[in-house]
Amino acid sequence: MIERIIVGAGCFWGVEAAFGALAGIVQTQAGYAGGWTEQPSYEDVCAGSTGHAEVVELHVDLTIISLNELLGYFWAMLEPPADPDPQYRAMIICSNAAQLELALASKLAQPQLVDYSVEIKLDLPFYPAEEYHQQCYRKWRDRFERRAKVV
């Protein structure tokens, strides 16, 4: 069974790469959600004029990975934001009431994140990011690996 869930945990490039590497994630797509502007552009989101955050839409094969396991990866990936920019805020957008209930319970089970703001919403609109933002680590892996070796 395939389900859709949307997560935001900072820049969508890294979030998409991290979740895309998990067994059971059958599709990822970088995009925007959580704001008030329809069809936002990256430039508009960066300018702060849309209210949207960078997010990743995940299509999850629940016969391979459970939503609870997926949420475990989400919580492990969060760090206190060094940049308070709302474009990088943490969020989970659920596709159904069962996902919402599980996400809320999962958040409560994370005592280390008690003061961490994570928006957990039901069925908000998702707007795909521009093509050049899709699968960035896969497209430009050599460039990222060279940069990592220098640092």
Residue 15 near residue 9, CB atoms below 8 Å: yes
Does the active-site annotation cover 11? Answer: yes
Give the active site residue among 11, 46, 94, 136: 11
Residue 120 near residue 95, CB atoms below 8 Å: no
Find, among 113, 121, 109, 31, the residue nearest to 78 by Cα. 113
Helix, strand, or coil here: 79?
Answer: coil
Q: Which residues are catalytic?
A: 11
